[in-house]
Amino acid sequence: MADSDDEGDKKDYQIKVVVLGDGTTGKTSLITRFSQNHFGKTYQQTVGLDFFLKRILLPGDVHVTLQVWDIGGQTIGGKMIDNYVSGAEAVLFIYDITNYTSFENLDDWLAVVKRTFRGATKLPHMALVGNKSDLEHMRTVRKDRHEKFAKDNHMSSHSISAKTSDKVNNCFKQVAADVLHIKLTPAYLEETDAVITADVVRHTPHQSMPTKLTTKTRSSVCVLQ
pLDDT 10s digits, 168-191: 999 999 999 999 999 999 888 887
Q: 40 with 24: CB under 8 angstroms?
A: no
The full set of domain ranges for the chain reads 10-39+46-204
Question: Which of 199 and 179 is assigned the larger pLDDT?
Answer: 179
Average pLDDT, the chain: 82
* Residue 178 C-alpha from the chain's centroid: 13
Q: Is 68 left (phi over 0), alpha (psi -120 to 50) or beta?
A: beta
pLDDT of residue 51: 82
4 by DSSP, 3-state: which? strand
Q: How confident is the model at residue 205 (pLDDT cuts 50, 70, 90)?
A: very low
186 by DSSP, 3-state: which? helix
- Note the CATH architecture for domain 10-39+46-204: 3-Layer(aba) Sandwich (3.40)
pLDDT, tens digit (0-9, with 9 covering 90-100), for 30-66: 999 998 885 554 444 544 578 899 999 999 999 999 9
CB atoms within 10 A of CB 10: 12
The model's pTM? 0.80
**Residue 219 in this model has a pLDDT that exceeds 50:** no
Specify the range with the lowest mean pLDDT, choosing from 60-69, 145-154, 164-173, 200-209.
200-209
Q: Is 22 left (phi over 0), alpha (psi -120 to 50) or beta?
A: beta
Across the chain, which distance is largest between two alpha carbons, in Å?
A: 51
Question: Which of 152 and 81 is assigned the larger pLDDT?
Answer: 152
- Tell me the residue length of the chain: 225
**Average pLDDT, integer, range 146-151:** 98
Give the dihedral of Cα atoms 67, 69, 70, 76; nearest 10 deg.
-160
Distance linking the first and last C-alpha atoms of the chain: 25
Question: Which of 21 and 5 is assigned the larger pLDDT?
Answer: 21
Distance CA 30, CA 38 (A): 9
